[in-house]
């Protein structure tokens, strides 16, 4: 028995259909004129496998219960059984819309645990990667939010732009999605002149192309009416619920880890933290557009300041040697064997490192027992925490607003379900 | 700042603070289990410290006889732009701890996840269901005695 009500009223067909072994919903009172609607996990507007149980009175949402876990792969358990290097490819699969920034966030956490400093060039390249993935992720967010409320053209245009960034990833590390680009103490490959050329061309075209998107949506009466005052969350609620990223900043809190708790070389770069006070879906849309422009600004600065030098730290016991040297030199072969089989040698301790990823604060909490495997690794996924505010945002909304709200939260279930 | 936090907590709750640890600039305070809600309320309400966000809350299975589980609270102060980590030891045979959802509403899902993964009960939690695993599932996967490959036949497959 899955759905229980206190008075056990006659069950309507919809309630019976919801009663399967995967559903557990407790309804405290009789439904009277209301009904319970199941949305997802296979629903095009839920951006993956999010499942919502919505309690409706007519078209008005009385309550909304999110159900997670349809993409739970147990990454935290996998991490306990793999070395620090082995886990890097798994981080691609967390927030699969901005894989490189997950790679960066993870290795920053491990490097903090190891007490390591990476060369300046590697740090600049990591900033480039993070900002590229922020633009790519926000493009998907803006496009799919437009699509959810009926503006299909925008999705095609933003995906066209995102494709150019994925092409840069391809040249940079040989993969478009599953990048696994960073290494502990450095990077897999150096940034090349071809990447610079591609990125410069992208940035030259980007302003105009983003302008086209803005022209289509920003003053579009239908779009604005669909999103304005929808999914409102107040400043106090956003803080209490632990929101981060665009949702928090759209509610009027200027929290950006790039400025507040800086990492990499962000203090050397000049950018603004965008804040809006409306706290609705439309504000989140405007905020993402504005953040993309700031990221483009950051990319230009980072390209300009990109220093020469090595991309890997000079610590043979912890940094994987280059493959061509592994195959020809004895010392490097031994180092490679030891790092791959035994792992790096962290001290005993626990650290937390968060970065400002495109969805919010992506954090890794690592407990080390001094061996090559983490004893415990907790992934603080921004999508999961941001989704926990859906019941607040959806309450009192129309059923058609739910898709706009999910689109404005921009959850990635790979990250929310871990 | 770290010294100031310790000093204030020592003054307010002399018996609650069981230990402090600083590693790579991260401050960890070990708090007595029964006092966690009082300490959290103080940390949030104090005008100088103002830890108004719970960024993360998770469990750790240390797999030892005394105080097997650790519950980790990762707090953030918007005013001071400062992280603080609280740690509470929970014994295996009495795996219950007071919920801090009354202090920060955002702790709700984190506590559900910790309950799901470690089987720790949070007393006073408004909706302590499992987060990821099915409700009927009898194991808690992130415990160290749960095998990484899983337990065969522990999840019923859908009927054909």
- B147 in a structural domain: no
Instruction: Look at B24 and A242 and tell me if their CB atoms are within 8 Å.
Output: no
In a domain, B56, yes or no: yes
Answer yes or no: is B13 within a domain. yes
Q: Cα separation of A188 and A172, whole Å? A: 9
What is the span of the domain harbouring residue B72? 2-123
Tell whether A67 is within 8 A of chain B (Cβ). Answer: no
Is the overall model pTM greater than 0.90, yes or no?
A: no
3-class DSSP assignment, residue A398: strand
- CA-angle at A243, arms to A239 and A246, nearest 5°: 115
User: Which of these, A51, A73, A52, A71, lies nearest to A61 by C-alpha position?
Assistant: A52
Residue B102 sits at the chain A interface (C-beta within 8 Å): no
ipTM of the complex: 0.92
∠ Cα A362 A184 A343 (to 5°): 110
Q: What is the pLDDT of residue A317?
A: 83
- What the block records as the tokens of A417 is 């379900």
CA A35, CA A20: separation in Å to the nearest integer? Answer: 17
Local confidence band at B48 (pLDDT 50, 70, 90 cut-offs): confident
Residue A265 in tokens = 């070389």
Chain A residues close to B109, C-beta within 8 Å: 384-385, 388
Mutation pick from B30, B106, B140 vs chain A, by most beta carbons of A within 10 Å, is B106
- Angle, alpha carbons A364-A370-A376 (nearest 5°): 35
In angstroms, the separation between the Cα of residue A283 and the nearest Cα of chain B is 21
| Interchain contact A1–B (C-beta under 8 A) | no
pLDDT digits (tens, 9 = 90+) for B52-72: 899 999 999 988 888 889 999
Does some domain include residue B44?
A: yes
What is the rounded distance in angstroms from the CA atom of residue A166 to the CA atom of residue B29? 43
- Read off the pLDDT of residues A157-215 as tens digits, 9 standing for 90 and up: 899 889 999 999 999 988 888 888 998 988 988 899 999 999 999 999 888 888 888 88
Is residue B66 a part of any domain in this protein? yes
Can you read off the two tokens belonging to residue A129? 């990667």
Nearest to A132 by CA among A105, A99, A83: A99
Q: Are residues B88 and B36 in contact, defined by beta-carbon separation less than 8 angstroms? A: yes
Q: Which residues pair with B28 in a beta bridge?
A: B21, B85
pLDDT tens-place string over residues A77-106? 999 988 998 899 999 888 888 899 999 999
Chain A residues in contact with B57 by the CB 8 A cut-off are none
Phi then psi for residue A64, to 5 deg, are -145, 125
Q: Is A78 an 8 Å CB contact of chain B?
A: yes
Domains of chain A from N-terminus onward = 87-352 (1.10.645.10)
Is residue B138 domain-resident? no
Domain of residue B18, CATH code = 3.30.460.80
Q: Are A84 and A411 in contact (CB under 8 A)?
A: no
Please, where are the H alpha helices in A115-183?
Answer: 120-148, 152-173
CA A133 to chain centroid:
9
Number of domains composing chain B = 1
Token output for A416: 């929310």
Cα-Cα-Cα-Cα dihedral sign, residues B36, B41, B46, B52? positive
Is A72 close to B72, i.e. CB distance below 8 A? no
Cα A95 to Cα A132: distance, rounded to the nearest angstrom = 14
pLDDT at A12 over 50: no
Nearest CA in chain B to A254: B78
Provide the token pair at A7: 């008075």
């Amino acid at each position: 028995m899955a759905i229980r009500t206190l008075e056990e009223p006659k069950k309507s067909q919809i309630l019976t259909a919801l009663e399967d072994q995967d559903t557990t919903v407790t309804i405290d009172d009789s439904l009277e004129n209301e009904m319970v609607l199941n949305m997802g996990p296979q629903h095009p507007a839920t951006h993956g496998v999010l499942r919502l149980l919505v309690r409706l009175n007519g078209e008005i949402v009385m309550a909304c219960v999110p159900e997670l876990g349809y993409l739970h792969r147990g990454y935290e358990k996998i991490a306990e059984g793999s070395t620090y290097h082995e886990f890097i490819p798994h981080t691609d699969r967390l927030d699969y819309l901005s894989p490189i920034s997950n790679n960066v966030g993870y290795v920053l956490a491990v490097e903090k645990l190891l007490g390591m400093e990476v060369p300046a060039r590697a740090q600049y390249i990591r900033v480039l990667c993070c900002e590229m993935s922020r633009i790519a992720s926000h493009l998907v967010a803006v496009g799919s939010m437009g699509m959810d409320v009926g503006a299909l053209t925008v999705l095609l245009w933003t995906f066209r732009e995102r494709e150019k960034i994925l092409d840069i990833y391809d040249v940079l590390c040989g993969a478009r999605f599953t990048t696994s680009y960073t290494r502990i103490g450095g990077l897999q490959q150096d940034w090349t002149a071809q990447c610079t050329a591609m990125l410069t061309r992208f940035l030259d075209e980007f302003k105009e192309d983003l302008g086209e998107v803005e022209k289509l949506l920003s003053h579009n009466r239908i779009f604005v009416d669909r999103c304005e005052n929808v999914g409102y969350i107040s400043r106090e609620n956003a803080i209490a619920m632990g929101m981060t990223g665009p949702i928090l900043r759209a509610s009027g809190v200027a929290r950006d880890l790039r400025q507040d708790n800086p990492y990499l070389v962000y203090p050397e770069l000049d950018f603004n933290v965008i804040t809006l006070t409306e706290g609705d879906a439309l504000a989140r849309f405007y905020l993402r557009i504005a953040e993309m422009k700031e990221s483009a600004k950051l990319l230009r600065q980072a390209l300009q300041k990109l220093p020469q030098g090595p991309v890997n730290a000079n610590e043979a016991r912890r940094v994987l040697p280059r493959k061509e040297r592994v195959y020809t030199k004895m010392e490097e072969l031994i180092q490679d064997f030891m790092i791959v089989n035994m792992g790096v040698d962290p001290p005993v301790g626990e650290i937390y490192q968060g970065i400002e990823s495109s969805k919010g604060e992506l954090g890794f909490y690592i407990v080390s027992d001094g061996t090559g495997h983490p004893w415990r690794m907790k992934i603080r996924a921004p999508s999961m925490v941001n989704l926990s505010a859906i019941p607040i945002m959806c309450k009192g909304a129309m059923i058609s607003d739910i898709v706009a709200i999910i689109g404005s939260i921009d959850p990635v279930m790979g990250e929310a379900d871990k | 700042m770290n010294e100031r936090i310790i000093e204030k907590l020592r003054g307010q709750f002399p018996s609650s603070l069981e230990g402090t640890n600083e590693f790579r600039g991260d401050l960890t305070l070990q708090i007595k289990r029964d006092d966690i809600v009082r300490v959290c309320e103080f940390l949030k309400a104090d005008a100088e410290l103002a830890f108004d966000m719970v960024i993360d809350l998770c469990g750790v299975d240390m797999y030892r006889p005394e105080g097997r589980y650790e519950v980790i609270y990762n707090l953030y102060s918007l005013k001071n732009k400062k992280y603080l980590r609280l740690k509470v030891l929970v014994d295996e045979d009495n795996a219950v701890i007071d919920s801090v959802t009354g202090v920060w509403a955002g702790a709700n899902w984190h506590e559900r996840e910790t309950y799901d993964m470690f089987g720790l009960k949070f007393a006073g939690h408004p909706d302590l269901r499992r987060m990821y695993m099915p409700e009927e599932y009898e194991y808690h996967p992130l415990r160290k005695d749960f095998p990484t490959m899983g337990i065969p036949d522990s999840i019923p497959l859908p009927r054909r």
